[in-house]
Amino acid sequence: MRVLGIDPGIAIAGFGFIDKNGHKLTPVQYGAITTEAHTPQEQRLVQIYESAGALMDRYKPDSVAVEKLFFNRNVTTAFAVGQARGVIILAAAQRGLPVAEYTPLQVKQSVVGYGKAEKRQVQEMVKMFLKLSAIPKPDDVADALAVAICHAHSAVLTNKINEVTNR
């Protein structure tokens, strides 16, 4: 199963593709989609949409996992992140890909085992799970990989529940 994890943002949207085979998690590709601050908002959204779609076409995920927007004191930032999430979800939907959404608390709980874990703890666990030599940078990339790991763990549980329910 190949999962695309996304940490949405208007300036930086982190992405991470991982493969899950049994209990093994393997990084496939990860990085960031970036847009320039001086670019008009609508053009930044087009760049994110096109880049996300191109990544999905190239790496062919089975599903997409996106971090849910949590309340942000800066309403302007929250709206911009919400718009970035929207175009990424649209790109996935147009390709027929299922999209799962996880709160930061759910991601931390899944990756670290503690919902109030510090960012550094999450990053260290991402590095360990994926056997990386260093923590991916910028932070948005490590966050995207954490979302992908969370979904890989959740998808296994969901499949087992469905198997038991459908017997």
Binding site residues for Mg(2+), as ranges? 7, 67, 140
Q: Is residue 67 annotated as a catalytic residue, yes or no?
A: yes
* Residue 140 annotated in active site: yes
Annotation says 19 is catalytic: no
Question: Binding site: what residues are annotated?
Answer: 7, 67, 140
Q: Provide φ and ψ at 94, rounded to 5°.
A: -65, -20
For the CA atoms of 105, 107, 135, 33, the dihedral, rounded to the nearest 10 degrees, stands at -100
| Catalytic residue (choose from 7, 42, 57, 124) | 7
Catalytic residue among 42, 50, 118, 140: 140
Contacts of residue 163, Cβ cutoff 8 Å, sequence gap at least 6: none
Phi and psi torsions of 38, nearest 5° = -80, -10
Sign of the torsion angle spanned by Cα atoms 49, 52, 55, 59: negative
| Annotated active-site residue in 36, 67, 139, 163 | 67
Which active-site residues does the annotation give?
7, 67, 140
